[in-house]
Amino acid sequence: MAGINKGVQARVLKEYPRASFILCTSHSLNLVVSDGARSSVKSTSLFGVIQQLYTIFAGSTKRYCIVSEHIQSLSLKQVCETRWEARISLIQAIRYQYAEVRQALIELADSVDDPKTVSEAQSLIKHMEDFSFLTCLIVWHDFLFQVNVVSKTLQGKMADLTSAKKLLDNCQEFLSSFREKGLLDAMISVKEIAKELEIEPVFTAERMRKKSKQFSYEGSDEVVPWKSFLREMFSYPLLTV
């Protein structure tokens, strides 16, 4: 579409030189979210696990039947690389049926004979029993829910520049204030799910590379797990956490 040599833009401008090319605002919003996700290791890991969930259950009819018995209202789908706001359906499928998805993995690990499948299922169960993973899931649910509302509205037939600007400004304000307000609300949901599944509400400490100290008064490299999570998830400067 946007190719300056052979794209639709170039063809239209060849016939109508005074035409104006405007990028799709919804697509641009998706690109912003995509770049933001890639900047966070925890976010990349989250969507990698979601992709593995789809792959392991879609691998055979037997596996699909197992997950279908536990998940009724929403289904797991393959992760889309371009339409990031569409991932809200994937997040919702797991966020509101977290216990069911984990139980399906446990049943899968106990019912198959393939060592590779058992290993993959046990690895996914370990991820879902990690408090950091659960927190990342809830945070992304709140993010994508807001982004999805804006994206769908921008694609509507009645959208105009004034309403589009207002929507984008509100979305930007929501994301900017999330670290101060939204995160606290998200943690309430996280702890409720963790309590239901008996997951210890503790952020696990990550192993960090130790640096040699030349002097005894140099600071320690140890990072508090909660602060480490904030830094990885929100790109917080370490000294300001």
CA distance 21 to 12: 9
Residue 150 pLDDT more than 90? no
Q: pLDDT per residue over 134-149, tens digit each? A: 988 998 888 888 888 8
Look over the chain and give the mean of its residue pLDDT values, rounded to a whole number.
Answer: 78
CA distance 8 to 228: 46
Quickly state the pLDDT bin for 123 (edges 50, 70, 90).
very high
Tell me what pLDDT residue 152 has: 81
Residue 172 pLDDT more than 60? yes
Quickly state the pLDDT bin for 201 (edges 50, 70, 90).
confident
Residue 236 pLDDT more than 70? no
Residue 213 pLDDT more than 60? no
Torsion (CA) 134, 138, 140, 143 in degrees, nearest 10: -170
CA distances from 185 to 37, 101, 127, 189, 199 (A): 21, 23, 22, 7, 19
Is pLDDT larger for residue 36 or for residue 164? 164
Q: Whole-prediction pTM value? A: 0.73
Residue 237 pLDDT more than 50? no
Tell me what pLDDT residue 119 has: 93
Q: Residue 240 has what DSSP assignment?
A: G
230, 241 in Cβ contact below 8 A?
A: yes
Is pLDDT larger for residue 161 or for residue 37? 161
Domain boundaries, the chain: 26-201+222-240
- Residue 198 makes CB contacts below 8 A (sequence gap 6+) with none
Q: pLDDT per residue over 39-74, tens digit each? A: 777 888 888 888 888 888 887 888 888 888 877 665
pLDDT mean over 94-110: 89
What contacts 24+ positions apart, CB below 8 Å, involve 200-207? Answer: 200/131, 201/131, 202/131, 203/131, 203/132, 203/135, 203/228, 203/229, 204/130, 204/131, 204/132
